[in-house]
């Protein structure tokens, strides 16, 4: 089991029962260590499979864990808790739904359904969605939940936040009434269950002896608290992660959890996996040099036995069009040299960069795939079908009701739905229960829809899951609707694929005797597991819908076959390729303009660059453009400071290293903020910086509003701030604003919706 491990890997796998932090660098074999540790503990008799909990962030990673452990140990491991945070919390809440204050058949709202629910809430309560945009409300609510905060716990230090807290309260009431939970709620509700219910907490603390955590750097505050509660009975926590690859702060990930864990639990038991089995030396040395510019790292240094390999190729082009054309030519050369298209990746910091690259590849006839596009369960037609299926299980699910009540179109207009919503609110009922209170033709159309839902429920009551799904899709009118669409063939194929998915799900469930993907404790164990009772009563349809919601929430996509892979750097996390292009290496783009005035944001951008570099096995390219069309503007930019942070001996410039003279443009648009860097004579040269001279106006008028430096303003997304610079006139005017929570931003005053704070 351990013969093929290197020394640090073997040390980690064979640790005695104790808390430990494993700093696993990119390509250092962390998954092998994690799964071998589980197998080692079981095979040496230190724990039964029932005493292990292993948690990761994607369903793909969880399946890989199960597959690897199964390949090592010839035993039934179904009693082990291996899964994602959301999947395991869902499993726990199903078992203890009464203690958690939930109906057993609660539905899970994915991100899109949650947004639809919030939009409906704002409309029903007459809340201005310009001042309180639904996506911003969603971020506010989810952010609070990920910090473990209910509405009374959120600090409301101004009128805007007070209103957001009120909306959060309304949203909680709506979700509880409808019997639905969103993704952050799964975690928060599971944490509250353990923290407030001593018998439930004691049950899991007695059972769990070892907690193993993958990608620990991506945990948020609430996930860490949940893990600590589970391990509170004396379990050992084996945390594997890499603080240099923490790139999900925007999702709530707290890289500080690693330092906290080392201090509070590991107490110096830190094992560093630094031998890299993926990349050549120049690539690793560049990554090591870059990341040393970050402060507060736990520290490690990647190395390899594979040799130095090729230097990193650097190309600077006059425009983004020229950059894309060069990229296509280089890609074609790589393919001609025998490299598989699927082993060539083009990375970009912003999705807006992809259009020019896609057009160039398409025009050249180079097959490509945009990696990380819509997953199956997120596609429009699939979500419509799932909406009907959810109503079969719960007719009071207002989000699903609103999704399909007029799709396919059945003459139910916005006014009718508004009346229905008013009646539901007035009598505190679901939309379904309020149908009878809507008069006229609109009410009649609503009644016909209600009868359709009722009829489908009755007709499918005794059908097996695949036949149930097939019947609902056929009788809902979705197939007939898309048959009338000239481009509907693909959508119909996706609808038919839902039936296939249901059949596969049912087959897997029959093999285990439980809903697919759900495992319970061995029934012969001395202590009964309430999970068995909790899931045993779940209908096949409900189990399938839970599976679909969890799959839709998993942000890891599948790479395409025989096609050049295009993706954001964030999407590239966890992947590796023979050849990698990192495009747009310009200040304000990479690092992103939103981060350069925030030290923590800049460090996260550097970690993102570190992730990008370490995706490459053999060949790595940096490319940049002197001008670029982004967001409808031509922007002239400086070379990224990250280029200056990579030692020259690792770089091979394919274009002349042009120095930057005072006559060259630095600020052609003011949507960029932060220090700018250029390269002169091969050395990093800090440039002038942050606010250009044209931002020195003291006051401008835009429409009926007058803005002046020093004035207080409020933005729906960024909150309250102070104007520190102005430029331009009329509708072309721009303002640089120092916001209290997000730092400095430059906004176009003719577009941004700003409220002036009087006084």
Return the active site residues. 30-31, 214-215, 245, 615
Counted residue by residue, the chain has a size of 759
3-state secondary structure of 82: strand
Under a CB-based contact definition with an 8 Å cutoff, are residues 141 and 170 in contact? Answer: no
DSSP one-letter string for 526-555: SS--HHHHHHHTS-HHHHHHHHHHHHHH--
Q: Are the beta carbons of 247 and 272 closer than 8 angstroms? A: no
Other CB atoms closer than 10 Å to residue 7's CB: what's the count? 9
Query: Phi-psi region for residue 108, left (φ > 0), alpha (ψ -120 to 50) or beta?
Result: beta
Task: List, in order, residues 6 or more apart from 445 with CB less than 8 Å away.
Answer: 410, 411, 412, 416
298 neighbors 270 (Cβ within 8 angstroms): yes
Count Cβ neighbours within 10 Å for each residue of 590-619 and write b for 16 or more, e otherwise. Answer: bbbbbbbbeeebbbbbbbbbbbbbbbbbbb
Kind of pairing, strands 677-680 and 683-686?
antiparallel
Residues 92 and 193 sit within 8 Å (Cβ to Cβ): yes
Is the CB of residue 108 less than 8 Å from the CB of residue 183? yes
CA dihedral 445, 447, 448, 453 (to 10 degrees): 130
Q: What is the enclosing helix (H) or strand (E) of 489?
A: helix 489-512
Residue 28: strand, helix, or coil: coil
Residue 101 phi, psi dihedral angles, 5° rounding: 75, 35
Question: Nearest-5° angle of CA 326, CA 332, CA 334?
Answer: 105
The residue ranges of DSSP E strands in 67-194, in sequence order, are 81-84, 107-109, 180-182
Phi, psi torsion values for 225, nearest 5 degrees: -65, -40
**Token representation of residue 361:** 């590849």
> Is the separation of the CB atoms in 693 and 664 below 8 Å?
no
Taking Cα atoms as reference points, which of 89, 113, 116 lies closest to residue 189?
89
Q: Is 152 exposed, middle or buried (0-12, 13-18, 19+ CB in 10 A)?
A: exposed
User: Could you give the residue ranges of the DSSP H alpha helices within 341-397?
Assistant: 354-363, 380-393
- Distance from C-alpha of 649 to C-alpha of 580, rounded to nearest angstrom: 19
* Dist. CA 24–CA 273, nearest whole Å: 5
- The helix-helix angle for 111-124 and 540-553 (nearest 10°) equals 90
> Exposure pattern of 205-241 as b/e (b: 16+ CB <10 Å)?
bebbbbbbbbbbbbbbbbbbbbbbbbbeeebbbbbbb
CA pair distance 316, 585, nearest whole angstrom: 9
Structure tokens at 289: 């040099």
Q: 130-133 long-range contacts, Cβ below 8 Å, gap at least 24?
A: 130/716, 130/753, 131/716, 131/753, 131/755, 132/163, 132/164, 132/167, 132/716, 133/716, 133/717
């Amino acid at each position: 089991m351990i013969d093929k491990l290197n020394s640090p890997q073997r040390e980690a796998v064979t640790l005695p029962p104790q808390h430990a932090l494993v700093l696993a660098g990119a390509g250092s074999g962390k998954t092998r260590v994690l799964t071998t540790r589980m197998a080692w503990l079981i095979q040496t008799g230190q724990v039964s499979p029932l005493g292990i909990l292993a948690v990761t962030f994607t369903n793909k990673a969880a399946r890989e864990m199960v597959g690897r452990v199964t390949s090592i140990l010839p035993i039934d491991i179904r009693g082990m808790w291996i899964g994602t945070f959301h999947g395991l919390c869902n499993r726990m809440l199903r078992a203890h739904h009464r203690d958690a204050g939930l109906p057993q058949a609660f539905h899970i709202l994915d991100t899109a359904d949650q947004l639809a629910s919030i939009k409906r809430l704002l409309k029903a309560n007459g809340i201005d969605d310009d001042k309180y945009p639904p996506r911003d409300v969603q971020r506010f609510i989810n952010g609070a939940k990920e910090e473990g905060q209910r509405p009374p716990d959120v600090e409301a230090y101004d009128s805007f936040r007070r209103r957001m807290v009120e909306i959060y309260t309304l949203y909680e009431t709506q979700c509880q009434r409808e019997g639905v939970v969103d993704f952050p709620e799964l975690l928060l509700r599971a944490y509250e269950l353990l923290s407030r219910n001593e018998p439930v907490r004691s049950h899991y603390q007695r059972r769990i002896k070892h907690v193993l955590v993958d990608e620990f750097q991506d945990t948020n505050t609430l996930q860490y608290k949940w893990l600590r509660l589970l391990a509170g009975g004396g379990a050992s926590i084996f945390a594997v992660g890499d603080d240099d690859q923490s790139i999900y702060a925007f999702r709530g990930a707290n890289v500080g959890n690693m330092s906290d864990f080392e201090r509070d639990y590991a107490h110096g038991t830190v094992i560093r996996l630094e031998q890299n089995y993926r990349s050549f030396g120049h690539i690793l040395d560049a990554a090591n040099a870059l990341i040393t510019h970050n402060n507060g790292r736990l520290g490690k240094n990647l190395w390899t036995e594979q040799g130095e390999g090729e230097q990193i190729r650097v190309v600077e082009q006059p425009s983004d069009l020229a950059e894309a054309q060069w990229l296509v030519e280089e890609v074609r050369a790589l393919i001609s040299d025998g490299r598989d298209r699927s082993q060539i990746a083009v990375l970009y910091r912003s999705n807006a960069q992809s259009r020019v690259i896609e057009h160039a590849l398409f025009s050249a006839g180079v097959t490509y795939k945009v990696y990380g596009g819509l997953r199956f369960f997120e596609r429009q037609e699939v979500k419509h079908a799932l909406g009907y299926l959810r109503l079969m299980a719960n007719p009071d699910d207002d989000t699903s009701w609103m999704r399909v009540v007029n799709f396919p179109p059945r003459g139910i207009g916005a006014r009718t739905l508004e009346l229905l919503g008013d009646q539901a609110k007035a009598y505190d009922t679901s939309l379904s229960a309020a149908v009878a209170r809507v008069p006229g033709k609109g009410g009649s159309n609503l009644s016909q829809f209600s009868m359709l839902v009722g009829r489908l429920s009755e007709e499918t009551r005794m059908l097996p899951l695949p036949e149930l799904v097939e019947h609902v899709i056929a009788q809902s009118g979705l197939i007939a609707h898309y048959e009338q669409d000239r481009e509907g063939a693909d959508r119909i194929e996706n609808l038919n694929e839902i039936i296939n998915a249901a059949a596969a799900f049912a087959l897997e469930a029959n093999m285990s005797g439980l809903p697919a993907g759900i495992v319970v404790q061995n029934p012969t164990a001395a202590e009964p597991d309430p999970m068995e009772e909790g899931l045993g009563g779940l209908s096949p349809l409900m189990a399938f819908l839970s599976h679909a919601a969890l799959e839709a929430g998993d942000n890891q996509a599948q790479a395409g076959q025989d096609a050049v892979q295009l993706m954001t750097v964030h999407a590239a996390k966890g992947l590796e390729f023979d050849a990698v292009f990192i495009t747009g290496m310009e200040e304000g783009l990479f690092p992103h303009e939103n981060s350069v005035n925030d030290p923590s944001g800049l460090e996260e951008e550097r970690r993102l660059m570190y992730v990008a570099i370490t995706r490459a096995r053999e060949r790595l390219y940096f490319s940049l453009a002197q001008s670029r069309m982004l967001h409808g503007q031509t922007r002239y930019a400086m070379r990224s400071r990250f280029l200056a942070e990579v030692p020259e001996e690792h770089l091979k410039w394919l274009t002349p290293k042009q120095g930057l003279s005072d006559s060259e443009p630095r600020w052609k648009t003011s949507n960029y903020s932060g220090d700018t860097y250029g390269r002169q004579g091969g050395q990093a040269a800090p440039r002038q910086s942050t606010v250009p001279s044209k931002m020195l106006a003291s006051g401008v008028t835009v429409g009926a509003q007058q803005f002046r430096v020093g004035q207080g303003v409020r933005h729906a997304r960024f909150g309250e701030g102070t104007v520190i610079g102005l430029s331009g006139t009329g509708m072309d005017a721009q303002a640089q604003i120092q916001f209290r929570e997000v730092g400095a931003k430059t906004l176009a005053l003719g577009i941004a919706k700003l409220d002036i704070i009087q006084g």
